[in-house]
Structure formats: C-alpha cells, structure tokens
Amino acid sequence: MTDRERLYWIWLSQRTHGGTSTVNTALRYFSSPEEVWLADKDTLAASGIEWRGRMDSFLDKDLSQAEKIAEYCDKNSIGIVTLQDYFYPERLKALANRPILMYYIGNFCDIDANPCVAVVGSRRPSRNGELSAKRISYDLAVGGAVIVSGLASGIDALAHKAALYAEKFTVAVLGCGVDRVYPEENRSLYGEICEKGLVISEFAPGTPPQARNFPIRNRIISGLSAATCVIEGGMSSGSLITAEHAIRQKKPLYTVPSSIFLTQASGSNHLLKVGARPLLTAFDLLYDLKGDFPDSISINTGEKSKNKAKNKKKTADNPDSEKTGFLFGGLKKKYSRDILPPEFEGAEQPAEAGVQAPEDRTENAPPRVLSFDLSEDEKTVFEALTYQPKTAEELGLELSASKTLRILSGLEIKGLAESFAGGRYALADG
C-alpha cells in the first residue's frame, strides 16, 4: 500500500461518525477509498446509497487531517491495518459494520488461525468473580486460547494479566486511541501488552476515552473471537453489549454462573436463561474449541506443570529463548490443573467503587434491551434487518406489512432499529 493510498483509508475512516455501516456501504459500491474520495456530489447521489445525512462529510476532500494522523503513526511506531491488508482478520470482514481500518501497537498476528476467546465482565467484580477470571483466563491461555478483552478495570484487566502470567499472547481492544492509557491504573499492564501482545483500536491516535466509544468497540472484541465468555456483569453493563454482539455474530456465548444475590452478576446470570452456555471450568470451552483448532488447543488434565522458578530463570538467562511468534506459536506448555501460583493471587485489585469509568452505567440506569429478550415476532423482524434501510415489504417476511411496521417502531424505541424516509428501517448503527 502506497503512502497516498494509506491517506485515503484514513480519510475514509474519519467519516464513520460513530458508526461504520454507511462507510462500508460506500466502500462496497465504489470498491476503494480513492474512488470514494474522487466521487463528486452527483456521483454520490447517483449511487443510491442511504447517506444518513452524512454526504457533506464525503464531499470534504481535505486530506490534511489524514496526513497528520499518518505522520503521528510513523513517528510513534503505530501500525495501521486496513481491509485490503493480509493481516486484517477474516472474522471481522464478515461483519456488516466492520471497522475499515484499525490502529495497533505490538504484534499484529494471524488472528484467524488462533482460538481467540473474549473474556469480559464487571469493572467491580466480587471476590469470586476475581478468582473466576484469574482461574479461567489462565487455564484458557495455557490451554492454547488467546485472551481478547478491553483493558478495563476489573475482569478485563484480570483476564489480560492471567494470560501474561501464563506467558501467552493477549489482545486489548480500546475505546480510545492506542496511544491513550485508560484507565490510568492499567498503565503498567498496557505497557506489557504493547510489548508482548497487541493493543488495537479503530479510533485514531489521540482519541480520548469517550463513553460512546466503548459500546462501539465491543463488537470488535466479540468479532475477533471464536467465542465469548462473560464473568459477572449487571443488566446495564457493557459486557452484556459484548454478549449481544456475539449473538448477532452467531458466536458461541458462555457465562460463569454466580450467586443470585450479586447485583453485578444479574446480567450474566440472565444470559443463562436465554441460551448462554454455563462455564464451570476452562475445559468446557477448550473442548468446544478443539474441534476447530486441533493444533492449537492442548488439554492435559493429568500432567503437573514444570517448576515455575526454573522456567523463569531460563527465560531470564535467555530472554529470546521463548518469544511469541508470527502465529502466536511461541509457547507450547501443557495444560495443567495446578492452582494459580501464589504471586498471581496478589495481583492488583480493581478500581475503588467510587471511581466510575466512562463506559460504566449508573446504578439507576434502565436495563439495556437485548435482542434475545424480544418476542418471537420481534426476533423474526430484528433478524431480517440489515444496515441497508428497507421497507416492511422489502424484508420479505410472512407477517403483514402493518404488523411488521408496528414491530419496527417498537424496535426503534428499544434502540435496536433506526427509521428513514419512506417508511424504511435498518439496524441501529454502532
């Protein structure tokens, strides 16, 4: 990719405005960012694309902002991967609202060849939630899974730490620029992932951690992964948004059962009612993954792990002796049921309850309406929707047009659909 082509990709990515469906539709019609950039008003209008009030931004041909971003990335060793690049994950390409490019720090490796597992949950977990996150994430990592999470306080951070403790690769998907550390308490963890794993974001460098960005990035967490695991999460938590994305993407969804008296687990327990698979040990997930990734997953419940101190001394004597390779294949330890080493039990605790992250919901926030809470007719209509606006008749359902329109109006109220002129509806963006 030439420097000029990279500018076109960055320019196009700046036209997402919190949602990528319009950009993706334009890219499919015009086939390349350069063609979109060259298109004048008449050409854009003749395409028949629903511009959602954003055509003016596509008529702005100024590349100066893209040039600044490209220059900043070059100076700060920030990589850019676009839809046309070999490394862009096929798992993400399958999404209708796929990010057209992503910025990264670290090793951008072959995501599709590896059994990536999204591990997400509460930012203020219970003690049992903390132990579950450590135990399951560590066992998954040693068993060959690549942990993907969001670097948030609580479960996310513990999942990343468990993978790193197991000396395995981990992927952090940010709701801000890859050069921004959020939350600040995870600065050390962020640095370690940059060095030993991958930090990635669709938001340009310098983008602050705004609250609206985090639900948007959650589709990438589930999209990169072959399965999603929720460990504690309230009815209004971001982890349930990730779970909903996993269901939309037809990815296996797991959750760890928790006490019915835990407020922070009300949402994750609810997932069990609507079809999530209970996750009692990492084996539940590893056995399911082994069929698709026989060469990556290692399940050995009987073998004791090697002496940890001896292994650490070996690595210290020869830092290059065990490095993660191009396909995450550097470390091939056998899976073990040994308890976590005591030093990991002393890992940092999550943030104080009084500190609220931008992506957190308030105690009094109404529960998010999830697609799996819908009636059968609502599910039928919801599953027929795409990001391209259509009329009730164009959805091709057996329901009457009047009933379909009533359901579509209800889905719009619930934040799952968006209405357009001419009685057309599409999936809500983001």
HEC string of the chain? Answer: CCHHHHHHHHHHHCCCCCCCHHHHHHHHHHCCHHHHHHCCHHHHHHCCCCCCCCHHHHHCCCCHHHHHHHHHHHHCCCEEEECCCCCCCHHHHCCCCCCCEEEEEECCCCCCCCCEEEEEECCCCCHHHHHHHHHHHHHHHHCCCEEEECCCCCHHHHHHHHHHHCCCCEEEECCCCCCCCCCHHHHHHHHHHHHHCEEEECCCCCCCCCCCHHHHHHHHHHHCCCEEEEECCCCCCHHHHHHHHHHHCCCCEEECCCCCCCHHHHHHHHHHHCCCEECCCHHHHHHHHHCCCCCCCCCCCCCCCCCHHHHHHHHHHCCCCCCCCCCCCCCCCCCCCCCCCHHHHCCCCCCCCCCCCCCCCCCCCCCCCCHHHCCHHHHHHHHHCCCCCECCHHHCCCCCHHHHHHHHHHHHHCCCEEEECCCEEEECCC
What does residue 106 show for φ and ψ, rounded to 5 degrees?
115, -150
Averaged pLDDT, 322-327 = 35
Predicted pLDDT of residue 18: 55
Averaged pLDDT, 239-249 = 92
Among 60-69, 190-199, 206-215, 384-393, where is mean pLDDT lowest? 384-393
Among 65-74, 85-94, 117-126, 368-377, where is mean pLDDT lowest? 368-377
Averaged pLDDT, 207-212 = 88
Question: At which residue do the structure tokens 């008749």 appear?
Answer: 393
Residue 78 has pLDDT above 80, yes or no: yes
Predicted pLDDT of residue 347: 38
Residue 330 has pLDDT above 80, yes or no: no
Residue 188 has pLDDT above 90, yes or no: yes
Paired with 199 in beta bridges are 105, 172
Predicted pLDDT of residue 368: 56
Q: Where residue 370 falls among pLDDT bands split at 50, 70, 90?
A: low
Residue 398 has pLDDT above 60, yes or no: yes
Average pLDDT over the chain, rounded to whole?
A: 82
Q: Where residue 354 falls among pLDDT bands split at 50, 70, 90?
A: very low
Q: Where residue 187 falls among pLDDT bands split at 50, 70, 90?
A: very high
Predicted pLDDT of residue 237: 85
Q: Where residue 335 falls among pLDDT bands split at 50, 70, 90?
A: very low
Residue 256 has pLDDT above 70, yes or no: yes
Residue 209 has pLDDT above 70, yes or no: yes
Residue in 256, 293, 257, 331 with CA at minimum distance from that of residue 116 = 293
Of residues 46 and 366, more confidence is placed in 46
- The predicted-structure confidence for 7-40, as pLDDT tens digits, reads as follows 999 999 998 765 677 888 888 889 899 999 999 9
- 358 upstream amide cis, omega within 30 of 0: no
- The predicted-structure confidence for 294-306, as pLDDT tens digits, reads as follows 999 988 643 433 4
Predicted pLDDT of residue 310: 41
Predicted pLDDT of residue 319: 40
Distance (Å, whole) CA 303 – CA 305? 6
Residue 334 has pLDDT above 60, yes or no: no
Q: Where residue 357 falls among pLDDT bands split at 50, 70, 90?
A: very low
**Long-range CB pairs of 40-49, under 8 A, 24+ apart, other chains included:** 49/22, 49/25
Predicted pLDDT of residue 344: 46
CA triplet 332, 336, 341: central angle to 5 degrees?
A: 100
Distance (Å, whole) CA 407 – CA 53? 25
What is the value of pTM for the model shown?
Answer: 0.77
Predicted pLDDT of residue 50: 78
Residue 157 has pLDDT above 80, yes or no: yes
Q: Where residue 396 falls among pLDDT bands split at 50, 70, 90?
A: confident
Rounded-to-10 torsion of CA 134, 164, 239, 337:
-30
Considering 21-35, 257-271, 375-389, 396-410, the range whose residues carry the highest mean pLDDT is 257-271
Query: Structure tokens of 125?
Result: 């977990």
Among 70-79, 174-183, 371-380, where is mean pLDDT lowest? 371-380
